[in-house]
């Protein structure tokens, strides 16, 4: 049996008629610039998150950048974030002119460690940016209390957390503002680039609207030096088709995760945990696995896709060396990089495929 890590082609075939009809409608109307689909998606996404504003932008990376800029964070400001994230989180801080300060993760859910965050706060700290990694919410109570105590801004990197919830609040509605990515492999993925900022603040939403569109306020009037980073109508049309299926897709991901957990209970691997009050959206299903690389080779031989997010933590990437991030001592982050492996998870995965993947993992350890 072949089990790909992700099967976007099959998903597309199921949605094809509806997606093509939406694209056709968008192009036929020739309203391709911040038009009806972007506005409708912004409303629908704001509703999903339970926030006042959702503002579509060109990518998740730009969403992070714009949030920082809208909060007035730039040169001389430090932003604390976990090193267990995609490099975009760090890039956007640098793009805003601020200084990234990376901290370790709490090992259970791979999210920012609140104690390490407290220890990293200096007079220059302006914001904390937890990442809801793999679609599991960070400890927002603890981080939120720290931000309140030290008067810091709180930005959620929810790029992997569409539809995840923390103690009754949707990810994306807890901080001063939040960012989502519509990169194609995400739980809500475009067929191109896209991102979204969510916030309850009128001022932040207004500033992001200016930043994404050349500071444009009215015909021939540009209030600030901005960017060309709009969400395009065609991507918005596609995302609206997919948004209708997000919750059902997330529900299926949760079922698959629970099934993997059950089937792997006897294997010497650590399956994902769900912190109290958290409803993850299982963007990825992550194991800690002894002899991880040998397991990966075994899965490959059996036709099963896998990945290692992240094989090398961001602070040890060559790109981050000039920033001095490699000097951070982050034992849990480094340990995770040696141990994690992701198994296939997506709504179209069948029960038989899940059983086959789990059985293959068990077979690997049984053969020790």
Find the shortest distance in angstroms from Cβ 283 to ligand PLP.
8
Q: Judged by CB, which is closer to ligand PLP: 59, or 187?
A: 59
Angle of helix 292-301 relative to helix 351-366, nearest 10 degrees, comes to 130
* Cα gap 116→58, rounded to integer Å: 32
Q: Which residues pair with 281 in a beta bridge?
A: none
Q: Judged by CB, which is closer to ligand PLP: 131, or 211?
A: 131
Q: Judged by CB, which is closer to ligand PLP: 155, or 295?
A: 155
Applying CB under 6 A, the residues found at the interface with ligand PLP are 59-61, 64, 85-86, 88-89, 131, 157, 159-160, 181, 183, 195
Q: Judged by CB, which is closer to ligand PLP: 114, or 135?
A: 135
Q: Judged by CB, which is closer to ligand PLP: 78, or 193?
A: 193
Q: Cis link prior to 95 (omega < 30° from 0)?
A: no
Find the shortest distance in angstroms from Cβ 110 to ligand PLP.
11
- Three-state DSSP class for residue 103: strand
Find the shortest distance in angstroms from Cβ 158 to ligand PLP.
8
Please enumerate in sequence order all residues whose Cβ is within 8 A of that of 59, keeping only pairs 6 or more positions apart, or say none: 181, 183, 193, 194, 195, 229
Find the shortest distance in angstroms from Cβ 133 to ligand PLP.
7
Strand 99-103 to strand 78-82: parallel, antiparallel, or no bridges (unpaired)? Answer: parallel
Find the shortest distance in angstroms from Cβ 297 to ligand PLP.
26
Q: Which candidate, 102, 73, 85, places its Cα nearest to that of 176?
A: 73
Q: Which residue is nearest to ligand PLP (CB)?
A: 60
* Cα gap 301→102, rounded to integer Å: 37
């Amino acid at each position: 049996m072949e089990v790909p890590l992700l099967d976007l082609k099959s998903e597309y075939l199921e949605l094809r008629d509806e997606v093509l009809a939406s694209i056709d409608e968008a192009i036929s109307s020739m309203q391709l610039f911040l038009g009806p689909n972007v506005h409708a998606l912004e409303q629908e996404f704001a509703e999903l998150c339970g926030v006042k504003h959702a503002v579509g932008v060109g990518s998740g990376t730009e969403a992070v950048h714009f949030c920082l800029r809208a909060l007035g964070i730039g040169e001389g400001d430090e932003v604390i974030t976990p090193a267990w994230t995609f490099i975009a989180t760090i890039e956007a801080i640098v793009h805003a002119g601020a200084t990234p300060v990376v901290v370790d993760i709490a090992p259970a859910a791979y999210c920012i460690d609140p104690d390490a965050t407290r220890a990293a706060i200096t007079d220059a700290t302006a914001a904390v940016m937890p990442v809801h990694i793999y679609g599991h919410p960070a400890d927002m109570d603890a981080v939120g209390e720290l931000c309140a105590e030290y008067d810091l801004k709180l930005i959620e990197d929810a790029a992997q957390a569409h539809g995840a919830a923390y103690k009754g609040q949707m990810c994306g509605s807890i901080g001063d503002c939040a960012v989502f990515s519509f990169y194609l492999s995400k739980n809500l993925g475009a067929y191109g680039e896209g991102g979204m900022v969510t916030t309850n603040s009128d001022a932040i939403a207004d500033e992001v609207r200016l930043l994404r569109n050349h500071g444009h306020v009215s015909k021939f009037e540009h209030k600030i030096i901005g960017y060309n980073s709009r969400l395009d109508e065609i991507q918005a049309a596609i995302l609206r088709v997919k948004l209708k299926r997000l919750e059902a897709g997330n529900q299926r991901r949760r079922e698959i995760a629970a099934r993997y957990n059950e089937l792997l209970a006897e294997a010497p691997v650590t399956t994902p945990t769900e912190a109290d009050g958290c409803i993850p959206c299982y963007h990825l299903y992550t194991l800690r696995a002894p002899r991880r690389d040998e397991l990966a080779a075994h899965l490959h031989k059996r036709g099963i896709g896998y990945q290692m997010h992240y094989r090398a933590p961001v602070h040890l990437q060559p790109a981050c060396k000039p920033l001095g991030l490699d000097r951070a001592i982050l034992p849990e982050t480094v340990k995770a990089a040696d141990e994690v492996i992701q198994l296939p998870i997506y709504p179209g995965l069948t029960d038989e495929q899940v059983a086959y993947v789990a059985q293959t993992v068990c077979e690997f350890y049984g053969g020790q």
